[in-house]
Structure 1
Amino acid sequence: MSAASAETIRVLGAREHNLRNISLDIPKNKITVFTGVSGSGKSSIVFDTIAIESQRQLYATFPAFIVNFLPRYERPHAEAIENLTAPVIIDQKAVGGGPRSTVGTMTDIYALIRALFARFGSPSTGLVYDYSFNTPQGMCPECDGLGMTVTADPDKLVDRTKSLNDGAILLPGYGVGSGDWQLYGNSGRFDLDKKLADYSDTEWHDLLHGSGGKVELTFNKGTWKANYEGLADKFTRSRLKRDTSGLSEKTREQMQKFLTEGICPACHGARLNEKALATKINGRNIAEWTALQITDLIEVLEQVTDPAALGLAEASRIALGRVADIGLGYLSLDRPTSTLSGGEGQRLKMIKHLGSTLVGMTYIFDEPSVGLHPRDVGRLNHMLEALRDKGNTVLVVEHDPDVIQIADHIVDVGPRAGVHGGEIMFTGSFAELRVADTLTGQGLRRAFAVKDAFRAADGELRVENASAHNLKDVSVGVPTGILTAVTGVAGSGKSSLIRDEFMARYPDSVFVDQSAIAASSRSTPATYLGLMDPIRKLFAKATAKPASLFSFNSDGACTECGGRGVIITEIAYMDPVTTHCESCDGRRFSDEVLALRLRDKSIADVLELSAEEAVEFFPEKALNAKLRTMIEVGLDYLSLGQAMSTLSGGERQRIKLATQLQHSGTVYVLDEPTTGLHMSDVDTLLRLMDGLVERGNTVIVIEHNLDVVAHADWVIDLGPDGGKNGGEIVFTGTPAELLRHPDSLTGEYLRLYKDGSAIRGR
């Protein structure tokens, strides 16, 4: 192998998913951005070929004992993948970590803060673990370090409009006359025909929290005396104060109906015990530090003057500075990771690696610009460049022109999606791509314009005195009958205003976001859209076989994989490992079923059809109409049988939208629908939103994409910045008026793109 060849990652004959036997060289120690429409094959190259093979080969170098605990990856479909380096994959998967995971614990910054308080706080215990809410030494004993307590909700336990004889107790097993009911009905403490709403304070307390005395309970086999115990106390003792891990999912769901979650009354949400909270530095305890906005905490650390503490304080400040530099300075260290968006989580994962001294790695990113205002994309670019400049290879799947612009090398995949994609259309520099005859090149050349004719609203939906999170007593009217864009930098209050405040006031609105779809691991677009039942009936009619035979969840399933198409192996503490089922070749059905045909196609053939192909295959009216909704939302390339778990956030959002398209007079709320969309696909989205409005609906879209903002009829811009510096209405009006607004960051970037001072994009 020549020295020159070792300077590139070489992929030969890649055929994963829709890739058409492609070969390419990717330069090492450079930033390479992969572009192309959604479904073109970008992720198949970067994640399913390069990343998987890098992990597979890396794990093979570990001792056998360790390998037994690691996921096992199948070799990707390619002739050769050469010159790989160790991978670091930074994707948009939810950070997770459970209720004990916070921004501080995820980034390891909380460990530095704990060390600072243990060594230099006053009065200090001297032990770092005394300041951890995840250890018995530091956690609040009331909430076990969660900051929240779950208690029985009296208004859910009983129906106060009824008497005990009328069945006022709503808990399962407490029907009138039952043993549990008799504890109260036979106690002699209550008028059994008196409505609970008419109880005195004493009676109410006695019902929920009373104690003392015996109650005789009557059963078929005789009588038994039991100690009286208030309903709420009994439920708490028998249900909440016990190990619930052995309970069925159904039982746990039933319990949830009677519970309410609130801030822990002992630690007031601080998670720590009194001893830990007593330690202070410059008048603040550790919980007060972690509750500060990160930009404010940096200032607090700058006030630490103890010479012995300067080293730890400086290390903490540098680590926090990285978080602020990526545009997340509005977060606090005590923010639960479960509340982070996919983009926020991905950028925090980046921060962990920026502090690493490892070099010669391959960093792989999945649309890192998701959720970023144009102002903050520059900060992201600096981080990508910093990783490259340390001596690493950086591979980025991206649609944002501002990120594409900094690439040393670009690979454009296409020409279109699904079966119409999977080819390398272009490799080269950004300047060369701008003149290339590809959809990406055309998108980069297209002039940016703000429309000058706007639809008139036919009313408004008011939000008054909104104060969720960082909103500062905001009152605003959302116009009806038109398209409204809600804009602002990350952390400005967009989601708080719309997701929290607006939706609480107008719960009948159709809210479509990118969250995971609550469906089984076997769910597909066909099952989600309700296509499978009519398809099975068509097969049954054509073959004179029972419809259940054409279900991979029932009689027709491959016996080897149970109809999954893959063999799933569960490994403790790791993600499940999936391997291709050799028996059915991943097609899910038994050989008997695969031999049966409808119009010369097996049921597996049909599920492999894209929505675009399926529309031609199924002339049946009901089926055809549902399939056309997939095309209308830009998912024409998606196959009917693709696992829902493999869809991107943007694809999940659009398939949810596909089920909601036929309404009129409805309010639609879309949360960043351009996520994962190529520039050419944004036009499809704009046509879709226009169509919804023209059918008499109101459309509200939370967005950073300036093409969408420029196309809106009305803009509500929040800011002026994020966190404590946001939460205000900066502007309301048309995009044309926003162009002239002097104080809006969104208006500033609209001007930049309109004037040609920046390339098209977010």
Structure 2
Amino acid sequence: MTISQKRFNGNSRSTVGTISDIYASVRLLWSRIGTPFVGYSDVFSFSSPSGMCKTCEGLGYIEDINLDELLDWDKSLNEGAIDFPSFGPDKERGKVYRDSGLFDNDKKLKDYTQKELDLFLYQEPMKLKNPPKAWRKSAKYVGLIPRFSRIFLGDKEFAKKRYAKHLKNVVTTKVCPTCHGQRFNQKILSCKINGYNISDFTKMTIKENLEFLDQLNQPTAEFIIAPLRKQLEALDFIGLSYLTLDRVTTTLSGGEAQRLKLIRHLNSPLSDLVYIIDEPSIGLHPEDIQKINQILQSLKAKGNTVLIVEHDPDVIKEADHVIDMGPGSGKNGGEITFEGDYQALLQSDTATGDALRKSHQFKSSPRPIKDYYHLGPITRNNLKQVTADIPKHVLTVMTGVAGSGKSTLVKAGFEDDDNTVFVDQKAVQGSSRSNLLTYLGVFDDVRKFFSKHTGLSKAMFSYNSKGACLNCGGKGYIKTELAFMADFSQTCEVCHGKRYKPEVLDATVDGYNIADVLELTVDEGINFFKGHKAIEDALRSLSKTGLNYMALGQPLDTLSGGEIQRVKLSQHLIEPTSDKVYIFDEPTTGLHEEDIPLLLNRFNELIEEGNTVILIEHNLSMMCEADWMIDVGPGPGLDGGQVLFCGRPEDLLETDTLTAKHLKRCISK
């Protein structure tokens, strides 16, 4: 059983209840004893056609398009009347309306007749008669509103995130007038237990759910109630009693998501399994990690083998046996440098042993403070009229238990500031066809470089275009789908995994073909492209974050959590900036303690250039490097949402917050 560090790929239908498998038990309970009796649990799903509210299709809200924001009525199609990035006159989505031949492209929208407006805005898909030459023969014409709705409204989370800034004014959201946000149709909402329908139950906190079950006296349903109670008690045990079952998973913090993954296995009756858990401490405050350790120990106690990939000292010290890999990263690693118990690891001369022995102290000379950003008062989620002061041009670390409101506070405080850069902990949108060079925006420069020196066209040096191996389509492997087993992949026998056509591989510069260059490490790439400023600067920014060992052509979907964070950071180190606010959400995610100084140097570099850096962080080593700290709590959810401390790090030790408790332990060591 493998539990990765990746976040849930959720949408507005993916909730705490569905992802934890608790919702299935809740549906079964209502189908068993709900009044009036219905009998089938499937109808109690807001994703089911028989259970959902038809008005909002089970979303609980409806969205409207503000035409005055989407359109510039004083412009024609040629002038860019559709005022949205992906619908511009030079974009594929915008060209559709100009190329259709249905409109006068120089006529301003305000001069359209009602018939023309209806055709432009509301027309359902239709085949064009005698279409212009520019029109694709197989394409159908669709009005702007149904087309825009299909792309951006409803459950289209990725599209919404990508264009969030532009959608903010174009799309308005309001509670569904039919179900009033409850997602279900009236028949389902009329089925109640002790006066509560299923939506009422999912909107309660886990703590309130348990109190509700304690009041049930239904012997015939005890076989449902008992396991449901166990599932809820597991969430309560792990410190998530403040969550509600209808909470959308995309709104969860990293620590909340990580604990939800683990909790699904806590009540499992299975034994003699091997659990491989990748960094269970991600997103967790030191106080939360104590509960995680209890879960890991309970899995072992059931007769399972638990293998943990981890960097956090508080998790490592719980191990019965430690295997340390190294000595470096990438090509410089891959060896077992230590095996033994924790006490022996402390005495070893490995990088991990050195990090565990290291003592921590606060900065002797924190940066002076001259001015502040004044946030608030902010009321959002669990924050109620909260204010905070964040100094300009220094390093601020925001702390507090997972779910206390840290991210909400800083996001809400800077959401309208165009000079703010927010680097979150989510994976980059990558695939096996995208690599480090494409993400940094310099793969085009590399292709131009090879084209200039070899005489082949630039497109030939793309494995997604003309240069792709004809046998594997530029993938480098052949995938065989098997009906009753996992898919099988093998290296392409034509290009041998190189991805390119033979004539492309024969074209070399200084003895290297394009495939050879993609196999170079970042440091080797810097030497190869010396003097080519755009490429060299991008690679140096990667090297500065400690990614000098990575291959230039490494697919983005193979990066670890720590590598992803540093790739994102490196983007902002290519070109010098000033007077910006950089907010990093848990930048030490996936990093070994020895990697943190490299990351810290980059933050200091940004500050020296005149920027402000804010870290949302749980790592005690990084807290010790702060010029200013803000501690949020005291607990998660409704028990949090307060600024407990705002000031110099050493003054935090005078308080009795949970962060202070663990920071004192770190400093005294």
TM-score, scaled to structure 1: 0.74
SS in 1 for 2:582: strand
Q: How does 1:161-560 map to 2 (within 5 A)?
A: 173=97, 185-186=112-113, 259-341=171-253, 343-499=255-411, 501-518=412-429, 521-560=432-471
Q: Are the structure 2 counterparts of residues 141 and 599 from structure 1 closer, same or farther at C-alpha, using a change threshold of 3 Å?
A: same
> Contact (CA 8 Å) 1:563, 1:589: kept in 2 or not?
yes
The separation in 1 between residues aligned to 2:635 and 2:371, in whole angstroms, is: 29
Q: Which runs of 5+ in 2 are unaligned?
A: 88-93, 123-128, 132-142
* Most deviating of 96-105 and 663-672: 96-105
> Which letter maps to 2:224?
L
- How many residue pairs get aligned? The number is 625
SS, match of residue 384 in structure 2: coil
Is this contact kept in 2: 1:92–1:342, CA < 8 A? no
SS at match of 1:328: coil
Q: 1:455 to 1:167 in 2, by over 3 A?
A: closer
Residue 716 (structure 1) aligned with residue 606 (structure 2): no
Contact 1:304 1:310 in 2 (8 A): no
Distance 1:576 1:595 in 2: 32
Corresponding letter in the other structure for 2:609: R
Could you say which residue in structure 1 is the equivalent of 2:652? 738
Q: CA deviation at 1:420?
A: 0.8
Give, as a single letter, the amino acid of the residue that structure 2 aligns with 1:477. Answer: D
Which residue pairs with 1:677 in the alignment?
591
Whole-Å Cα distance in 2 between the matches of residues 529 and 575 of structure 1?
A: 34
Higher relative contact order, chain-length normalized (CA < 8 Å, sep 6+): 1
**Counterpart check, 1:564 vs 2:478:** no
Secondary structure of the structure 1 residue equivalent to 2:380: coil
Instruction: State how far apart, in whole Å, the 1-side matches of 2:365 and 2:205 are.
Output: 41
Structure 2 CA distance for aligned equivalents of residues 434 and 583 of structure 1: 50
Q: Residue 376 of structure 2 contacts residue 413 of structure 2 at CA under 8 Å; is this kept in 1?
A: no
Larger mean CA deviation between 354-363 and 594-603 belongs to 594-603
Q: Conserved in 2, the CA contact under 8 Å of 1:451 and 1:736?
A: no
Give SS of 2:644's match.
strand
Secondary structure of 2:408's counterpart equals helix
Q: Tell me: CA distance 1:271–1:577, structure 2 relative to 1, closer, same or farther (3 Å).
A: farther
| 1:467-489: CA deviation from partner (whole Å, max 9, x where unpaired) | 22111121112211100011111
Are residues 534 and 176 of structure 1, via their aligned partners in 2, closer, same or farther at CA, if it must alter by over 3 Å? closer
Letter in 2 for 1:644: L
Structure 2 distance, partners of 1:540, 1:530, is 17
Structure 1 residues 747 and 208, CA gap change in structure 2 (3 angstroms): same
Is 2:529 the partner of 1:618? Answer: yes
Q: Which digits, 9 at most, give the CA deviation of each residue in 1:322-366, with x for residues without a partner? A: 123233333221122333455543432322222222222111111
Q: How does 1:617-696 map to 2 (within 5 A)?
A: 617-620=528-531, 622=533, 623-661=535-573, 662-696=576-610
User: Any idea what SS the aligned residue of 1:265 has?
Assistant: coil
Superposition deviation, residue 176 in structure 1: 7.0
SS of the residue 1:125 aligns to? coil
**Aligned residue identity for 2:428:** I
TM-score, normalisation: structure 2: 0.84
Q: What is the rounded CA distance, in whole Å, between the counterparts of 2:321 and 2:196 in structure 1? A: 49
Q: CA deviation at 1:542?
A: 4.1
Which amino acid in the other structure matches residue 488 of structure 1? G
Structure 2 CA distance, aligned partners of 1:574 and 1:685?
Answer: 43
Deviations 1:155-185 (A, max 9, x none): 3454467899x99887974997689999995
SS of the equivalent of 1:129 reads helix
Q: Which has the larger radius of gyration?
A: 1
> 2:136 maps to which residue?
none
SS in 2 for 1:472: strand
Specify the SS of the correspondent of 2:373: strand
Aligned to 1:13: none
Q: Which amino acid aligns with 1:683?
A: P
Q: CA RMSD in A?
A: 3.8
State the one-letter code of the partner of 1:618: F
> How has the CA–CA distance of structure 1 residues 178 and 90 changed in structure 2, closer, same or farther, with 3 Å as cutoff?
same
**3-state DSSP class of the match of 1:505?**
coil
Q: Which amino acid aligns with 1:463?
A: L
Q: Is the 8 A contact 1:152 1:235 kept in 2?
A: no
Aligned to 2:90: none
CA distance in 1, matches of 2:192, 2:204: 15
Which residue matches 1:107?
20
1:575/1:669 CA distance change after superposition, 3 Å = farther
Code of the residue aligned with 2:237 in structure 1: it is: D
Residues in 2 aligned to 1:414 and 1:550: alpha-carbon distance in whole angstroms? 35
- Measured against aligned partners, the alpha-carbon deviations of 1:388-411 in whole angstroms (never above 9, x if no partner) come to 111111111111111111112111
Select the residue among 580, 583, 586 that pairs with 2:491: 580
Alpha-carbon separation, structure 1, partners of 2:300 and 2:353:
25
Distance 1:160 1:592 in 2: 52
Residue aligning to 1:760: none
Residue ranges of structure 1 left out of the alignment (5+ in a row): 1-87, 193-206, 210-218, 222-233, 757-762
Per-residue CA deviation, residues 118-175 of structure 1 (Å, 9 max, x unaligned), is 33344443443342212233211212222232333343454467899x9988797499
Q: Tell whether the 8 Å contact from 2:431 to 2:555 is kept in structure 1 after alignment.
A: no
Equivalents in 2 of 1:169, 1:594: separation in Å? 44
CA distance in 2, matches of 1:346, 1:578: 30
Change (3 A) 1:157 1:183: same
Quote the Cα distance in structure 2 between the aligned partners of 1:400 and 1:238: 48
1:699 maps to: 613
CA distance in 1, matches of 2:344, 2:80: 76
- Whether 1:753 and 2:666 are equivalent positions in the alignment is yes
Q: CA deviation at 1:686?
A: 1.3
Equivalent AA in structure 1 for residue 186 of structure 2: E
1:342/1:589 Cα in 2 relative to 1: closer, same or farther (>3 Å)? farther
- Going from structure 1 to structure 2, the CA distance change for 1:117 and 1:588 (only over 3 Å counts) comes to same
What is the CA deviation profile of residues 522-575 of structure 1, one whole-angstrom value per residue up to 9, with x for unaligned ones?
A: 211122223334433443444444444333233433222222222345789999
Contact 1:373 1:704 (C-alpha < 8 Å) held by counterparts? yes
Question: What's the CA shift string for 1:248-268, capped at 9, x where partnerless?
Answer: x99xx99x9765444322112
CA 1:308–1:473: 2 relative to 1, 3 Å: farther
Matches within 5 A, 1:6-17: none
Residues 395 and 626, structure 2, Cα contact 8 Å, conserved in 1: yes
Equivalence for 1:128: 41
- 2:641 corresponds to: 727
Which whole-Å CA distance do the structure 1 matches of 2:604 and 2:70 have between them? Answer: 47
